[in-house]
A and B are shown apart, each in its own frame.
Chain A
Amino acid sequence: MNLAQPLRLGNSGPWLRLFSAALLVLVWALAAEIAQSRVLPGPGAVAESFYYNLVDGRLLSDLAITLFRVVVSFAIAMIIGVAVGIVMGLRKRLDILLDGWLILFLNIPALVIIILCYVWFGLTEVAAIIAVSLNKIPNVIVIMREGTRAVDRELLQVAQVFHVDRQRRFFKFFLPQLYPYIMASARTGVALIWKIVLVVELLGRSNGVGFQLSVYFSLFDIAGILAYTLAFVAVMMFVELGVVAPIERHIMRWRK
């Protein structure tokens, strides 16, 4: 096989994806049919549960509150992480001072941070948001520090020679060089944060997708669990494809 040759899909790409999805549902339906078990409901049962939760249950409000927590903790994590990462990338001494803390935080399990936040700040909304943000911040710092170290000094010299003011120097000469790193941490951020939010809800909140999952777990309602899961995955895929990806395309449009 010639690896240098690009794969020729023609127009079959999207159809192939659709077929792949249909195949998955088919395999699932088949497995459920054979197993005939309460713990493996088929697509029909899950769709029924989805409809029930949507119309009579709290699916929409649970999705909304969980999404709210994702957005707020994401914003906090990005703002703090980007700021600290840049400063650590620029200031050698501060970098050495904080590097140990950073490694420590990177290695504390998410669960421990969540438990400690609930213990110290109570079972509150603020504690939940702090717990999620704290789990993501070290990650953003590491990526942004790397980006800051890779900044092209030659472009900053242009700003200096032409007496460009500080504000423009930062926003037009410096920050755009970090956009690829900001986008990278945003992408991994969204993926990581929504998973942690569910755990936080499961452990200490009385609403949201994570809480409802724990309720269905105790009731052994697997169809409900799968219905909630699929709904939430759909929402997060929409955020990824409908919000994050277009923003990235716009910011990076100058690339060849």
Chain B
Amino acid sequence: MDAMTTENLQVRIDRKVYPAEAPGGGRVAIADLAFDVPGRQFCCIVGPSGCGKTTMLNIMAGLDKEAEGRVEFSDGTPLDATPIGYMFQTPRLLPWLSVRDNVRIVLGDEEANSGRAERILEEMQLGDSLDVFPNRLSGGMQRRVALARAFAIEPRLLLLDEPFVSLDAPVGNRLRSMLLELWQSRPTTVLFVTHDLREAIFLGDRILFLSRGPSRVILDVTVDLPRPRNIEDPKVEAFRKSLLEQHNSLLHGLAEEQARDRSADDAA
């Protein structure tokens, strides 16, 4: 298992066209998207909204099979033969199952009976809420359950699609820290999609910037800040500023979007 998780993830998506009947139909979403992710790397993916980030994750997760290309590990294992954890933009919990059963449901019988679900939920301070239905939990707690579910299967690849969007800052930051703790105690390859550059710098070993659709990688940045990091640390902000200055024209559209997001946050 240890040897397996250190294999590189090789992403080669040659072409993905949105189906003609869908909104934006016939548009090319992804073209010649190619990158490698070393095993156990925390890789953030930043790009403007609508650039096909979610589509890319769905292709990897096997939800979207209408794409040309190949995603596999460097030992040749295709993705549909490996456990993949996926945390969506909304928690997507089953409302008719308790917190405990929401995690157990994705496990095999043997794993479920070994108490793995309970252990990981305890670790996320949900030990008191094991038998509660998700509707009675706050948004932040629901996301913790979704995070526990994604980690419970001991994924070889963990996909996260803007999972902490629409949470207020303290709750979001707590979840970000929990994610890092889980990832450090259960190392796995992570692809974290976001459009929040600060979040990407706080979390990632590396940030890939995608262009507007059809999306390609336009910039590949290593985040060399030492861990553990603090999201309030001026170093994070300094890293963000220097990144925007260095690649002003390249990230122009993105920086604009960031500014818009921020002023929208302020107004709210």
Report A's interface with B, CB cutoff 8 A.
Answer: 154-155, 157-158, 160-164, 168, 172-173, 176, 179, 253-256
Q: List 6 A-B contacts (CB under 8 A).
A: A154-B90, A155-B92, A161-B86, A162-B153, A172-B105, A254-B135
Cβ of B62 < 8 Å from any Cβ of A?
Answer: yes
Cβ of B225 < 8 Å from any Cβ of A?
Answer: no
Extra contacts, 19 of them, besides A158-B88, A161-B84 (Cβ < 8 A), are A154-B88, A154-B90, A154-B92, A155-B92, A155-B94, A157-B63, A158-B106, A161-B86, A162-B86, A162-B149, A162-B153, A164-B105, A172-B94, A172-B97, A179-B96, A254-B134, A254-B135, A255-B135, A256-B136
**Nearest B residue (CB) for A256:** B135
A164 to B97 Cα, complex, angstroms: 15
A40 to B203 Cα, complex, angstroms: 83
**Nearest B residue (CB) for A252:** B96
Cβ of B133 < 8 Å from any Cβ of A?
Answer: yes
How many chain B residues have a CB neighbour from A under 8 Å?
Answer: 22
| Contacts A164-B105, A172-B105, A255-B135; A158 near B95 (Cβ below 8 A) | no
User: B94–A176 contact, CB under 8 A?
Assistant: yes
Q: Which residues of A contact B134 (CB under 8 A)?
A: 254
User: B135–A160 contact, CB under 8 A?
Assistant: no
Question: Whole-angstrom distance from the CB of A29 to the nearest CB of chain B?
Answer: 49
Cβ of B25 < 8 Å from any Cβ of A?
Answer: no
Report whether over half of chain B's contact residues are helix, strand or loop; otherwise say mixed.
loop
8 Å CB contact of B96 from A154, A158, A163, A254: A254
Q: Which residues of B contact A168 (CB under 8 A)?
A: 105
User: B96–A162 contact, CB under 8 A?
Assistant: no
**Nearest A residue (CB) for B61:** A161
8 Å CB contact of B62 from A154, A160, A173, A254: A160
Q: Which residues of A contact B85 (CB under 8 A)?
A: 162
A41 to B63 Cα, complex, angstroms: 69
Question: Whole-angstrom distance from the CB of B103 to the nearest CB of chain A?
Answer: 10
Q: Which residues of B contact A253 (CB under 8 A)?
A: 133
Question: Whole-angstrom distance from the CB of A47 to the nearest CB of chain B?
Answer: 46
A256 to B136 Cα, complex, angstroms: 7
**Nearest B residue (CB) for A169:** B105
A160 to B63 Cα, complex, angstroms: 7
User: B106–A254 contact, CB under 8 A?
Assistant: no
Question: Whole-angstrom distance from the CB of B85 to the nearest CB of chain A?
Answer: 8
User: A162–B106 contact, CB under 8 A?
Assistant: yes
Report B's interface with A, CB cutoff 8 A.
Answer: 61-63, 83-86, 88, 90, 92, 94-97, 105-106, 133-136, 149, 153
User: B97–A161 contact, CB under 8 A?
Assistant: no
Q: Which residues of B contact A162 (CB under 8 A)?
A: 84-86, 106, 149, 153
8 Å CB contact of A161 from B62, B94, B96, B136: B62
A154 to B106 Cα, complex, angstroms: 15
The 6 closest A-B pairs by CB, nearest first: A162-B106, A254-B133, A176-B96, A161-B86, A161-B61, A254-B96
Question: Whole-angstrom distance from the CB of A169 to the nearest CB of chain B?
Answer: 10
**Nearest B residue (CB) for A253:** B133
Q: Which residues of B contact A163 (CB under 8 A)?
A: 83
A130 to B97 Cα, complex, angstroms: 37
Question: Whole-angstrom distance from the CB of B66 to the nearest CB of chain A?
Answer: 15
Q: Which residues of A contact B84 (CB under 8 A)?
A: 161-162
User: B92–A164 contact, CB under 8 A?
Assistant: no
Q: Which residues of B contact A155 (CB under 8 A)?
A: 92, 94
A82 to B149 Cα, complex, angstroms: 31
User: B105–A161 contact, CB under 8 A?
Assistant: no
A245 to B88 Cα, complex, angstroms: 36
A147 to B215 Cα, complex, angstroms: 37
Question: Whole-angstrom distance from the CB of B157 to the nearest CB of chain A?
Answer: 11
Q: Which residues of A contact B105 (CB under 8 A)?
A: 164, 168, 172
Q: Which residues of B contact A161 (CB under 8 A)?
A: 61-63, 84, 86
Question: Whole-angstrom distance from the CB of B203 to the nearest CB of chain A?
Answer: 21
| Contacts A163-B83, A254-B135; A173 near B94 (Cβ below 8 A) | yes
**Nearest B residue (CB) for A177:** B96
A154 to B54 Cα, complex, angstroms: 13
Q: Which residues of B contact A255 (CB under 8 A)?
A: 95, 135
Question: Whole-angstrom distance from the CB of A43 to the nearest CB of chain B?
Answer: 46
**Nearest A residue (CB) for B95:** A254
A164 to B149 Cα, complex, angstroms: 13
Q: Which residues of A contact B88 (CB under 8 A)?
A: 154, 158
A172 to B106 Cα, complex, angstroms: 11
**Nearest B residue (CB) for A175:** B96
**Nearest A residue (CB) for B98:** A254
Question: Whole-angstrom distance from the CB of A150 to the nearest CB of chain B?
Answer: 15
A31 to B83 Cα, complex, angstroms: 76
